[in-house]
Structure 1
Amino acid sequence: MVDHATPNLPSRHFEATINFYAALGFTVVFRDAGWLILSRGDLILEFFPDANLNPAASSFGSCLRLDDLDAFYSECRKAGIPETTVGWPRIEPPRHEASGLRIGALLDPDASLLRLIQNRDT
């Protein structure tokens, strides 16, 4: 296994988190009362329970670096995630940033921000 990192994000309800991410192709790798791990290919997201989380005040987030950002964005839209700039869950379309990267955004039902970044060819 190569070195890697995985985000640790809050979940108010594991079932709601599982259902949201399942619509995007994620499956449960591990679950107990205190931890949840989901994967989609090489993407791994880990969640801890936080029933008292206030999504409006959440500052949790991570980056998903994707080989095909447009395909993932399309899957989010097909899953019914609204394209908007307010509320959550929501998806914001990819755009070219000053950094030269194409970046979109996904906010999950707990308002964790997942920046969607197109991988560059090396």
Structure 2
Amino acid sequence: MADRITANLPSRDFGATEAFYARLGFTRQWRDEGWMILKRGVLELEFFPHPDLVPGESWFSACIRVDDVDTLHTEWQAAGLPGDHRAIPRLTGFFQPGEAPRMFALVDADGSLLRCMGNGG
């Protein structure tokens, strides 16, 4: 297996988190009472229980880098998530903050922010 690093994000409820990410193409690789791993191709997210998390106050985040960010955005749009900047969960359109790479963002149902960009950026 190649070297790697994976995001570790909070989940108020593993069942709800798994259902949310299933809409985005992730499937369960591992789950017990203290840990869950979801995978979509080479993308892997790990979750730990955090039942008292307040989604609107979450500061958890991760970056997802893919070869084709436009296709990923199109596929995730099919989940029908709102784009309102206050909604949790939500999926944004593309933006480019300053000199940073062009990206879009996903905020999951627990308030975790995933910045999604191309591998070149």
TM-score, structure 2 normalization:
0.94
1:9 aligns with 2:1: no
- Which segment is superposed worse, 95-104 or 7-16? 95-104
Residue by residue, what CA displacement relative to the aligned partner does 1:62-82 show, whole Å, maximum 9, x if unpaired? 000011111111122111111
Give per-residue Cα distances to partners, 1:25-69, cap 9 Å, x unaligned: 100000000000000111100000111001111100000001111
CA deviation map 1:68-114 (0-9, x unaligned): 11111112211111112112100111223422511110000001000
> Which 4+ residue blocks in structure 1 deviate beyond 6 angstroms?
none
**1:83 is matched with which residue?**
83
For residue 18 of structure 1, give the secondary structure of its aligned residue in structure 2. helix
2:56 and 2:88 in contact (8 A); partners too: no
RMSD, matched Cα:
1.3
Aligned length: 121
Query: Percent of aligned positions with the same letter in both sequences?
Result: 47
Question: After the TM superposition, which of the residue ranges 82-91 and 95-104 deviates more from structure 2?
Answer: 95-104
Contiguous gaps of at least 5 residues in structure 1: none
- Structure 2 residue runs of 5 or longer lacking an equivalent are none
- Partner AA of 2:42 in structure 1: D
Instruction: Name the aligned partner's letter for residue 4 of structure 1.
Output: R
Alpha carbons 1:69, 1:116 under 8 Å: kept: yes
